[in-house]
Amino acid sequence: MTAPAISLKDVDISYGDTKVVRDVTFDVAEGESFALVGESGSGKSTVLKAIAGLAPQWTGAISVLGKPRGHGPDRAFSETCQMVFQDPYASLHPRKTIDTVLSEPLAIHGIGKRSEKVLEMLAAVGLDRRFRFRFPHQLSGGQRQRVAIARALMLEPKVMLLDEPTSALDVSVQAEILNLLKRLRREQGLTYLMVTHNLPVVSFMCDRMAVMNKGRIVEIAPKTALYDGSFADPYTRDLYAASGGNPDAPAPLAASDS
């Protein structure tokens, strides 16, 4: 057994005097795809931010690929773990070309052959090379999210933190991005920790999920629980019902009436 890719133990996170996440403990195995599910304000994005070093006020222990994580930004850490943000309209610098955006992580880490690597990565995320010198406003939402994923992959990380990567996109574009993420994980052996509130996306992308409510993990369940709604916690069952349940399930569900 190797060390888990991501391991959190008794993690509490606060912003100022407000504690927003309490007692979070979970392990993500290497190569696994793990989801954090919950509604807005449940603290799921905060957990990602703490792992990425963007929410430094935490206590407990976080380790990534066996190495304990410090509280601030960490150059060695960013080579193994990268984050993709929710809104592709907000996460790309509006006045930098795609080429600049993608070369920047290489420049910071002193890695050569930048031009080749940029072209390689554009091809990997399914973007034509003519997009290389364009600005973000010249791309559609789906294309921008591809750029954001490419930027995260530039340093060849092993662990990806995905914060609602498709919630700002159309259904058909969402399908393209989800396929892309799935393919990249298969090809590069990545570990995903994905935040989402969309349960069907979890069913497609992830192996296990942790359900969060009011800053705590209420349940960790395998994705098969989504097939029949066999959740132990009442909050999770409510969330499942609000998402429409599973229309393909044989048993009748109390989803549409209420």
Partner 1 sequence: MIDQQAPLLEVENLRVSFATPTGPVEVVKGLSFNLGREERLGIVGESGSGKSMTGRAILRLIRAPGRQTADVLRFDGLDLAAQSARQMRGIRGARISMIMQDPKFSLNPVMTIGEQIAEALKVHERLPRRDLQARVIEMLTSVRINDPERVAQMYPHEVSGGMGQRVMIAMMLIPRPQLLIADEPTSALDVSVQAQVLDLIEELVTGNGMGLILISHDLNLVARYCDRILVMNAGRVVESCAAADLHKAQHPYTQGLLAAQPRMQETRDELPVLDRTAGEST
Where do contacts with partner 1 occur on this chain (CB under 8 A)?
39-41, 141, 170-176, 178-179, 182-183, 197-201, 203-205, 226-227, 238-239, 242-249, 256, 258
If the CB atoms of residues 57 and 243 are measured against partner 1, the closer one turns out to be: 243
d(C-alpha 184, C-alpha 151), whole Å = 13
Q: Report whether 9 contacts 24 (CB < 8 A).
A: no
Nearest residue (CB) to partner 1, 115 versus 138? 138
Q: Considering the complex, what minimum distance in angstroms separates the CB of residue 42 from partner 1?
A: 9
Looking only at the bridges linking them, the beta strands covering 216-222 and 58-64 are unpaired
3-class secondary structure, 169: coil
Helix 171-188, helix 141-153: angle, nearest 10: 20
Contact criterion met (CB below 8 Å) for 191 and 26: no
- Smallest distance, partner 1 to C-beta of residue 72, A: 31
Nearer to partner 1, 10 or 238 (CB): 238
Instruction: State the minimum distance, in angstroms, from the CB of residue 33 to partner 1.
Output: 12
Residue among 95 and 130 whose Cβ is closer to partner 1: 130
By beta-carbon proximity to partner 1, the closer residue of 59 and 140 is 140
Smallest distance, Å, CB 40 to partner 1?
5
Compute the least distance from the CB of residue 212 to partner 1, in Å.
12
Sign of the torsion angle spanned by Cα atoms 129, 172, 159, 82:
positive
Q: CB of residue 151 vs partner 1: minimum separation in angstroms? A: 23
Rounded CA Rg of the chain: 19
Q: How far is the CB of 154 from partner 1 (least distance, A)?
A: 25
Q: Which is nearer to partner 1, 157 or 245 (CB)?
A: 245
Q: Residue 158: CB partners within 8 Å, gap ≥ 6? A: 5, 30, 65, 80, 81, 189, 190, 191
CB of 37 or CB of 161, closer to partner 1: 37
Contact predicate 142/153, CB 8 Å? no
Task: Find the Cα–Cα–Cα–Cα dihedral 188, 130, 93, 143, rounded to 10°.
Answer: -60
| Residue 157 token pair | 């990380």
Helix (H, G, I), strand (E, B) or coil at 10: strand
Q: Which helix (H) or strand (E) holds 51?
A: helix 44-52
